[in-house]
Amino acid sequence: MKTPIQIRLVLFLAVSLLSATERPSSVAEKFCHLEMTGIGLDGRTSGPLLELTTGEEEPFSETLEIVSECKVAQTEPTSSTTADVVVEYSILGKIREDNLGLKHILHKKNTEKIRFRLLFVDGNWKISRKSLADVPVHATAKAWARNLQDLLNEDNKAHPALDRNLQEVVAQLTRM
């Protein structure tokens, strides 16, 4: 006789194999690699990330992390329609904004594991947006530098101190 966990695993595998979809781990990995390129830093370009998610819009975290790598550490099927995927990020540091709007880089190398909840919706595995609500925004130093440089280029030069600060942060990111 099979245990309930064995039955759930068999159902999970059967649904995954019978459908023409990607595995939950592949969806989570694709999301992480797209995010690292900075594609979600600008709302105008976040479409590919949103296609990998489902559910109501959740506000994104205010925590901004500079990463060098992400990889799937573990996949845990919880039912035939849900799975948890743990992704491990290699963190180089964080970008903080003070109460004056100035940005600062906090260099702190470590690893961080984030658990994504995936749902099987309309024949595809998608990341639940609710599980992303407290997840830091991850991007490489190069992607952050490009994003901040774009802000500088769009700025009307009304705030010279903020512009100098952004230039300094872009220079630091470029050296990382």
If we measure between CA atoms, which residue out of 27, 137, 129, 34 comes closest to residue 85?
27
The residue extents of the domains of the chain are 4-175
The predicted structure's pLDDT at residue 102: 87
CATH of the domain spanning 4-175, picked from 3.10.450, 3.40.50, 3.30.1330, 2.20.25: 3.10.450
The residue ranges of the chain whose pLDDT is under 50 are 1-4, 6-20
**What does the pLDDT look like over 55-82, one tens digit per residue?**
887 767 788 999 999 999 999 988 999 9
164 Cβ contact partners less than 8 Å away, ≥ 6 residues apart? none
What is the pLDDT, as a whole number, of residue 13?
43
Q: What is the pLDDT of residues 24-46, one digit of tens each?
A: 999 999 999 999 999 988 777 78
How confident is the model at residue 75, as a pLDDT? 93
Q: What's the predicted TM-score (pTM) here? A: 0.81
pLDDT for position 155: 63
Burial class (CB in 10 A: 0-12, 13-18, 19+), 4: exposed
Q: Quote the pLDDT of residue 156.
A: 60
Give dist(CA 55, CA 144) in Å, integer: 27
